[in-house]
A and B are shown apart, each in its own frame.
Chain A
Amino acid sequence: MANLRDIKQRITSVQSTSQITRTMEMVATAKIKRAQEKIESARPYSFAMMEVLGNVARYVQGASHPLLEEHEERKRVMVVTITSDRGLCGAFNSNILRITEDVIRSERNAGVETDVIAVGKKAIGYLRYRGIEPVMSYRDVSDKPTFSEARAIAAHIIPRYEAGELDAAYIVFNRFKNVAEQKPETYQLLPIEQRVMEAEEEKGGMHAEYLFEPTAAEVLEHLLPTYVETLVYRALMESAAAEQGARRTAMKSATDNASEMITTLTRSYNRARQAAITTEIAEIVGGAAALEEA
């Protein structure tokens, strides 16, 4: 039977842990809301962007732009990995890192070299440990991603793709499905898939005749890099919201487990206390009986 003091100590320690996890759960809940609002407020921009892109695409038939062209040979691809800066969020980061490694491995088996851009301390740490040196790393982004950060990341990819140094670029991140669910996802950033340009056309019907200034091709030239930046920005925001969601779920189950543990510990504490009392009484009775006999 465990010693009374030991059990008491464990109960106190579990209690203080559950206090921390409960607080973290509440903080995460509050942060999800803010992150969700940010995603919402970015929506008008991406909708308008898709609309403009669709309009332009209709006018530049068979559009040729370096970012749309698929390279014949695949020699080097870029993988952007988005993780969090902090832990304690369940399988959030390990899912992403596993997918990243899968991508790297399968590309390597196909004889393709991979460069990695790591976003978030967790990715940086893990990849370094695995002997994969990221070409670029960003930290302290996951809490409050900004568009200029997305731009900086895109700036490492777009010129290199145009120069033919890269033959594809992927982004691996957690998509925020709802408060309780995150879905790790791989998205192709470059080359821009043709269907992006075509999707708008189908639902068309009536189309206005647009004027372009300077020309449709030049507008497209400006628009495509911005489109890629928007994709990166979106991924950063989704990941930020998903991180808080994952943390909330993880902390909720930690809190639940802690209270369950406290219940069992209290039960065994009481049992031990009772046993101690019983032994004590038995000893007293035994002692008294021994005295009487004497």
Chain B
Amino acid sequence: MARTLLCEIVTPEKIVYTNEVEMVIAPTLDGEVGILPLHAPLVTVLRPGELRVRYNDGKDVEWFAVAGGYLQVHQDKVIVLADAAEHASRVDVDRARQAKELAEQRMAEMKQKPLMEREDMTECEEDLKWCEIQLQVAEKRS
């Protein structure tokens, strides 16, 4: 059997995933990184996106939606500190869709207003992004 990594995905609310895997592919600020066993110690910032792990000689792939966070690699242990994370099969598609519509509506409303009166839109954008990622990942479940 190939050498493996221990991958742990934790959020402030719960542990989302722990498993021995062969490869972790995570979305960082500067693009995706793939982490294999014997990787050098690394700390990096994640952006919202899709994270996947491969195991069983690359035959099994699991997808996760992560809403930004950090990743630390140390001695074949990958810790993902995500603000929020969801396994592809656990994404509540209906809810994500509704939330997405709501966020889009709010964005549209805000754009109607004159520039001076606009509230901070980053929060809204983040919500929207998170919903989109969840939906994207949900499509990939096998």
Contacts and interface: CB of A to CB of B under 8 A. Distances in A.
Nearest to B14: A41
Contacts of A6: none
B41 A223 contact: no
A214 B12 contact: no
Interface in B48-76: 69-70, 72, 74-75
Contacts of B30: 213-214
Given A41-B13, A213-B30, A48 B44 contact: no
A213 B33 contact: yes
Contacts of B29: 213-214
Given A55-B43, A213-B42, A222-B45, A208 B74 contact: yes
Contacts, number: 83
A233 B42 CA distance: 27
Contact of B45 (A146, A209, A213): A213
- The A interface, classified by DSSP as helix, strand, loop or mixed, is helix
A48 B70 CA distance: 10
Contacts of B40: 209, 211
B101 to A, nearest CB: 19
A80 B69 CA distance: 25
B28 A147 contact: no
A52 interface: yes
B10 A44 contact: yes
B121 interface: no
B44 A212 contact: yes
Contact of A42 (B12, B42, B79, B123): B12
B20 interface: no
Interface of A: 38, 41-42, 44-46, 48-49, 51-52, 55-56, 146-147, 150, 155, 208-214, 216, 218-219, 222-223, 226, 229-230, 233
Task: State the 8 A-B residue pairs at the shortest beta-carbon distance, nearest first.
Answer: A213-B44, A208-B41, A147-B12, A210-B41, A211-B42, A45-B10, A41-B14, A44-B10
